[in-house]
Amino acid sequence: MAVDLSVSLPSATTLAVVAEEAIRFMDSLLGWPGMPRMTFVTGREYQGDVRVSLGRHLSDEELRGAVIGSPGQTEFFEVDLAGYGDGAWLQVFDLSNQVDTDPVEVVVTPTRTSVGVTLSRCLAIGAAIAGGGRILEDDLHIFSTDFKDFEVFAARHRLTTASVDFADACTRFLRQFPTLNGWPQEACLPAGWTPG
């Protein structure tokens, strides 16, 4: 089952702005105080499904200087959430050599949990808001192609009652979408979880 969400990025932006917009969007959906800190990681390596290198966490200063969305640029980051084993893979692709496409595309792939899927959607939307983009394709069909009215979406799907914890808020958010049919069943992964 494919679970990616891809968005266009017509204007360059920084990872710091993407993170700020993702947190703001997630907060508007979940209403959960004290969202877990997101950490962007570069240089992780895998052999098959086994992580063989932890990579390097980007500092706040590096996030402010890390520009994404420039033509000719292809980047790959992992995003971790403090206190959880869930995360997402954020990939930036240069498509400027292709006809009839946006020049830069951001694809976000989650861990297959409620926390991971919610994080990935908010990261992709954060990138779209920061770069003036739109939805290109949502494998889970939460968003339609060419969708870009993210504030209306947040108002329509905002949780209105308190959640037990952050993972519960993510699960409750996703249960609003009948096409998911109760998926993902797992709310979150334990802190320290790694593939393999």
Kind and range of the H or E element at 39? Answer: strand 38-42
Q: Cis bond leading into 184, ω under 30°? A: yes
Given a cut of 70, whether residue 179 has pLDDT beyond it is yes
Strand partners, 53: 45
Those residues with Cβ within 8 angstroms of residue 105's Cβ, 6 or more apart along the chain or in another chain: 6, 7, 8, 9, 92, 93, 95, 136
| CA dist., res. 30 & res. 85, Å (int) | 19
Task: Kindly report, residue by residue over 68-122, the tens digit of the pLDDT.
Answer: 988 788 889 999 999 999 999 999 988 766 655 667 889 999 999 999 999 999 9
- Close Cβ partners of 24 (under 8 Å, ≥ 6 residues apart): 126
User: Computed from CA positions of residues 91, 94, 102, 14, in that sequence, does the dihedral angle turn out positive or negative?
Assistant: positive
Question: For residues 9 and 140, what is the distance between their CA atoms, to the nearest angstrom?
Answer: 20
Asked whether the predicted pLDDT for residue 167 surpasses 60, the reply is yes
Q: What is the DSSP string of 77-144?
A: EEEEETT-S-EEEEEEEE-TTSTTS-SEEEEEEE-SSHHHHHHHHHHHHHHHHHHT--EEEETT-SS-
pLDDT digits (tens, 9 = 90+) for 140-149: 999 998 999 9
Q: Is 5 left (phi over 0), alpha (psi -120 to 50) or beta?
A: beta
37 vs 11: CA distance, rounded Å: 26
Buried b (16+ CB within 10 A) or exposed e, 160-170: eeebeebbbbb
pTM of structure? 0.92
d(CA 180, CA 196): 26
What pLDDT does 99 receive?
55
Q: What is the pLDDT of residues 36-70, one digit of tens each?
A: 999 999 998 888 877 888 899 999 999 999 999 88
Mean pLDDT for 177-192 is 92
